[in-house]
Amino acid sequence: MNVQSALNTESLLKVEGLSTKIKTPEGVLTVLEDVNLTIEKGEIMAIVGESGSGKSMMINSILQLLPKTLLEAYSGNIEVEGENLFAIGEKKMQEIRGKKISLVAQNAMTSLDPSYRVGKQIVEIMLEKTGLTKEQAKEKALNLLEQMGIDDPKRIFQSYPHQLSGGLRQRVVIAMSLACDPDLIIADEPTSALDPTVQLQVLDLFQTINQQFGTAILMITHDFGVVARIAEKVAVMYAGQIVEKGETADVIFNPTHPYTQSLIKCIPNLDWVFDKGAGKKPLWQIKGEPPNLMNLSQGCRFFNRCHVAKDICQSTNPLLKTVKPYRNEHSVRCVLIGGGNE
Amino acid sequence: MLRYVLSRILSTIPVLFGVTIVVFLLIQLIPGDPAKSILGADATPEAVEELRNNMGLNEPLIVQYGAWLSQLLQGDLGYSYTLHTPIIEELMPRFVNSLILTVASMLICVTLGVILGLISALKKGSFFDKASMGVALIGASMPVFWIALMLMWLFSIKLNIFPVSGMYNMRNPGGFMDLLHHIVLPAFATATVSLAVIARLTRSTVIDILQKDYVNYFHSFGLSKSKINIVHVMRNSLPPIINISGLQVGYIMGGALFSEVVFNWPGIGQALYVAVTSNDYPTIQAGILLIALTFVVVNLVVDLLNVWLSPRLQDSIKAE
């Protein structure tokens, strides 16, 4: 063991002050602003946010998959095990994709090539990214499929995507993401297209993978149920910014940002479902629409929809402030909350 | 699977039957009397009438059709009035010559069309894309006989690179290389329009496939771009490209009629042209029938290729 790994001071993934700007026909759009994230080895972290909050842009920025025609500029830093992704060049980046960081695609229904047997697609990745022979790759793929809780891996290996159910396809996609033993899996809403029972199975599968392989997982979701079930840490995103992040228990039981509070209030619980006066008592909703990133005011991006907004919110751009320091840091981007700036 | 192939082959029979009816009726609509054209302008009405009786032209249409069809089924395409030979002897070698021209044209339009379309799609919005699609639009709008004349004027007469006409050099028959030398211009003239059509379709198909989730997903694994483009993008673009190419065979055979006449290519088109101008009905019928038969066969092949290429289609066939 060398000194570096013994000290193990480097985080697996470190995103610092990341801003991503893209080109659109209307002009340049800042889809991510001042994003800070750290994922340690073997950790499960979730990013929560509604559509358009920048979750997918986050993935595309980390894996640097934004096409040149779309990307205006990155700023800030993304480090994988201490290596700055913006400095290493495309060739090394290709090495990191799949091998260090891999993706579990959002829609398993459309993320497998309909023209090839699924086994062949897993093997294809292994053959190109690892030094395995064809036989070794096939054996490993069959093993992976079995570890994904698939009963007859041989039959699934030989199947075409359209012959599999949604749950099976998702398992195949997860097996594919593990093809080159990555240190981090980014799962992009891996359960939103699945039946509720299958959702739980797939979530448990992620947990098993995390425990068995020690793979860190960055779970992108809009569902606090998913967060509560598997994530250790969570970051809440709104309009391209992280508005709150911390340990899952802290954020769920003690949501501090008004947006997080609203999101959690939106989840119907059984008390509400079985309330006799349910018809009269509407479920909490967040009024209005997310802001247009094209013309943002200088104040808080949640101002227009916030239930506790004050005048100061409109004029002051809030910074991420630590409300609970040290190891299990909890921080919030809201001017109304006390505490020191990060 | 075998059952599907057989049923697909059997299903071409009614189509071919329909083709014979259409071809037969079409000829009846053409003005002119074959008996008159055989006997010449000076023939007496009595002689014409007698010949019409002998040829069965005074029988009801249905009887004439029946006689013609039973002949066809025995492999007899009829006897040419003007050439005084059995049509099959006259047409078959020419049919082969036409097939050679068609295959050459198909090779040109499919390879160049797919390459142009693919590069344009991968470099969408680039100068190459705009230029080649502009040229394709112009190419698709030009009539074959005009292209043929222009090519001949430029490359044969002005530049003297390729021969003006024919299939082989009469004085110095040179085998395959000579054929190649002669086929370039007629093949290009015939292929131009189809090349443009295939290039445009390939471009739009590839652009469509490039946006598929699975293509992006494979990119996220850091696989080589060119490999993804070949293994996944091209593979999934094939079915529509094969479909349109199959349709182009029909178009090219039609276009070959023009370039055969212009370049004096001894093919079936040229024979048809001569037959039409001399009212040689049986030859016209036989020629159209041969072309239609080729088209039906090509469509059959395209259908079977599509099934072979698409696991989904195979499953739906198995399920039937």
Does A124 reside within a domain?
no
Query: What are A153's strand-pairing partners?
Result: none
Does B223 lie in the same domain as B127? Answer: yes
The residues near B18 (Cβ < 8 Å, ≥ 6 apart) are none
| CA B93 from centroid of its chain's CA atoms | 17
Q: Indicate if the pLDDT at residue B118 is higher than 80.
A: yes
DSSP string, B184-240: HHHHHHHHHHHHHHHHHHHHHHHHHHHTSHHHHHHHTTT--HHHHIIIIIIHHHHHH
Distances from the Cα of B142 to the Cαs of B186, B203, B262, B292, in angstroms? 15, 20, 15, 24
Structure tokens at A258: 């008004």
The identity of residue A321, as a single letter, is: K
Does A330 reside within a domain?
yes
Task: Judge: A63–B235 Cβ closer than 8 Å, yes or no.
Answer: no
With contacts defined as CB-CB under 8 Å, which chain A residues touch B218? 113, 125
With contacts defined as CB-CB under 8 Å, which chain B residues touch A173? 217
Chain A within 8 Å of B123 (Cβ-Cβ)? no
Residues in chain B, how many? 320
pLDDT value at residue A3: 45
The identity of residue B248, as a single letter, is: Q
Task: Judge: A113–B213 Cβ closer than 8 Å, yes or no.
Answer: no
> Among candidates A159, A157, A90, A156, which has minimal Cα distance to A126?
A157
Does A326 reside within a domain?
yes
Q: Indicate if the pLDDT at residue A341 is higher than 60.
A: no
The 3-class SS string of B97-139 reads HHHHHHHHHHHHHHHHHHHHHHHHHHCCCCHHHHHHHHHHHHH
pLDDT value at residue A2: 45
- Distance in angstroms (rounded) separating the CA atoms of residues B193 and B143: 8
pLDDT value at residue B173: 64
Q: Indicate if the pLDDT at residue A216 is higher than 50.
A: yes
Output the domain CATH number for residue B116: 1.10.3720.10
* For range A250-267, the mean pLDDT: 86
Does B177 reside within a domain?
yes
- List the single best residue of B214, B230, B237 to mutate versus A (max A Cβ within 10 A): B214
- Distance in angstroms (rounded) separating the CA atoms of residues B230 and B236: 9
The least confident of A153-157, A205-209, A229-233, B74-78 is: B74-78
* For range A244-263, the mean pLDDT: 89
Angle between helices B12-29 and B61-73 (to 10 degrees): 130
pLDDT value at residue A5: 45
Per residue in A1-49, pLDDT tens?
444 444 455 789 999 889 999 988 888 888 898 898 899 988 999 999 8
With contacts defined as CB-CB under 8 Å, which chain A residues touch B239? none
- Distance in angstroms (rounded) separating the CA atoms of residues B99 and B268: 9
Does B137 lie in the same domain as B201? Answer: yes
The least confident of A268-277, B1-10, B136-145, B194-203 is: A268-277
Does B250 lie in the same domain as B164? Answer: yes
Query: What is the DSSP pairing of strand A241-247 with strand A233-238?
Result: antiparallel
- Distance in angstroms (rounded) separating the CA atoms of residues A85 and A52: 24
* For range A132-140, the mean pLDDT: 92
Chain B within 8 Å of A105 (Cβ-Cβ)? yes
With contacts defined as CB-CB under 8 Å, which chain B residues touch A187? none
Does A321 reside within a domain?
yes
Instruction: Pick A110's closest partner by Cβ from B213, B232, B315.
Output: B213
The DSSP symbol for B95 reads H
- Distance in angstroms (rounded) separating the CA atoms of residues A210 and A13: 16
Which position has the higher pLDDT, B169 or B246?
B246
pLDDT value at residue B77: 77
Angle between helices B12-29 and B281-309 (to 10 degrees): 150
Q: Which domain holds residue A325?
A: 257-342
* For range B76-101, the mean pLDDT: 82
Distance from CA of B268 to the nearest CA of A (A): 40
CB A226 within 8 A of CB A46: yes
- List the single best residue of A113, A129, A160, A218 to mutate versus B (max B Cβ within 10 A): A113
Does B22 reside within a domain?
yes
Does B133 lie in the same domain as B26? Answer: no
pLDDT value at residue B169: 67
The residues near A239 (Cβ < 8 Å, ≥ 6 apart) are A52, A53, A54, A290, A291, A293, A296, A301, A302
Domain tally, chain A:
1
b/e per residue, A152-171, with b = 16+ CB within 10 A? ebeebbebbbebbeebbbbb
* For range B62-79, the mean pLDDT: 84
Task: Judge: A107–B213 Cβ closer than 8 Å, yes or no.
Answer: yes
Domain tally, chain B:
2
Average pLDDT, chain B: 85
Which position has the higher pLDDT, B89 or A244?
A244
Does B121 lie in the same domain as B59? Answer: no
Does A311 reside within a domain?
yes
Task: Judge: B223–A160 Cβ closer than 8 Å, yes or no.
Answer: no
Does B233 lie in the same domain as B125? Answer: yes
Chain B within 8 Å of A94 (Cβ-Cβ)? yes
Determine what percent of chain B is predicted with pLDDT higher than 70. Answer: 98
Does B197 lie in the same domain as B160? Answer: yes
Q: Quick one: closest CA in B to A162, which residue?
A: B312
- Distance in angstroms (rounded) separating the CA atoms of residues B213 and B210: 8
For residue B79, the SS3 value is strand
- Distance in angstroms (rounded) separating the CA atoms of residues B23 and B296: 14
- Distance in angstroms (rounded) separating the CA atoms of residues B310 and A73: 41
* For range A234-239, the mean pLDDT: 91
Question: Please, which pLDDT band fits residue A154 given cuts at 50, 70 and 90?
Answer: very high
- List the single best residue of B207, B209, B217, B228 to mutate versus A (max A Cβ within 10 A): B217
Chain A within 8 Å of B127 (Cβ-Cβ)? no
Distance from CA of B222 to the nearest CA of A (A): 4
pLDDT value at residue B108: 93
Does B249 lie in the same domain as B108? Answer: yes
pLDDT value at residue B26: 79
Q: Indicate if the pLDDT at residue A281 is higher than 70.
A: no
Q: Quick one: closest CA in B to A111, which residue?
A: B214
The identity of residue A230, as a single letter, is: I
Q: Position of tokens 């190649």?
A: B180
- Distance in angstroms (rounded) separating the CA atoms of residues B287 and B11: 22
With contacts defined as CB-CB under 8 Å, which chain A residues touch B212? 110
Q: Indicate if the pLDDT at residue A256 is higher than 80.
A: yes
Distances from the Cα of A107 to the Cαs of A104, A192, B81, in angstroms? 9, 8, 68
Does B69 lie in the same domain as B123? Answer: no
The 3-class SS string of chain A reads CCHHHHHCCCCCEEEEEEEEEEEECCEEEEEEEEEEEEECCCCEEEEECCCCCCHHHHHHHHCCCCCCCCEEEEEEEEEECCEECCCCHHHHHHHHHHHCEEEECCCCCCCCCCCCCHHHHHHHHHHHHCCCCHHHHHHHHHHHHHHCCCCCHHHHHCCCHHHCCHHHHHHHHHHHHCCCCCCEEEEECCCCCCCHHHHHHHHHHHHHHHHHHCCEEEEEECCHHHHHHHCCEEEEEECCEEEEEEEHHHHHHCCCCHHHHHHHHCCCCHHHHCCCCCCCCCCCCCCCCCCCCCCCCCCCCCHHHCCCCCHHHHHCCCCEEEEECCCCCEEEECCCCCCEEC
Does A308 reside within a domain?
yes
Instruction: Pick B221's closest partner by Cβ from A98, A106, A110.
Output: A98
pLDDT value at residue A134: 92
Per residue in B23-67, pLDDT tens?
888 777 777 777 777 777 777 888 888 888 887 777 888 888 888
Q: Which domain holds residue B126?
A: 96-266
- Distance in angstroms (rounded) separating the CA atoms of residues B231 and B291: 36
Chain A within 8 Å of B308 (Cβ-Cβ)? no
Distance from CA of A290 to the nearest CA of B (A): 26
> Among candidates B230, B28, B228, B196, which has minimal Cα distance to B113?
B196
Does B175 lie in the same domain as B67? Answer: no
pTM (two decimals): 0.82
Other CB atoms closer than 10 Å to residue B2's CB: what's the count? 6
Instruction: Pick B213's closest partner by Cβ from A111, A160, A176.
Output: A111
Does A340 reside within a domain?
yes
Structure tokens at B19: 């083709």
The least confident of A30-44, A185-199, A287-301 is: A287-301
Q: Indicate if the pLDDT at residue B112 is higher than 90.
A: yes
Distance from CA of A95 to the nearest CA of B (A): 7
pLDDT value at residue A148: 86
Instruction: Pick A163's closest partner by Cβ from B216, B235, B315.
Output: B315
Which position has the higher pLDDT, A245 or A5?
A245
The DSSP symbol for B32 reads S
> Among candidates B279, B257, B252, B254, which has minimal Cα distance to B268?
B257
Does B86 reside within a domain?
no
- Distance in angstroms (rounded) separating the CA atoms of residues A89 and B264: 60
Does A209 reside within a domain?
no
Which position has the higher pLDDT, B52 or A218?
A218
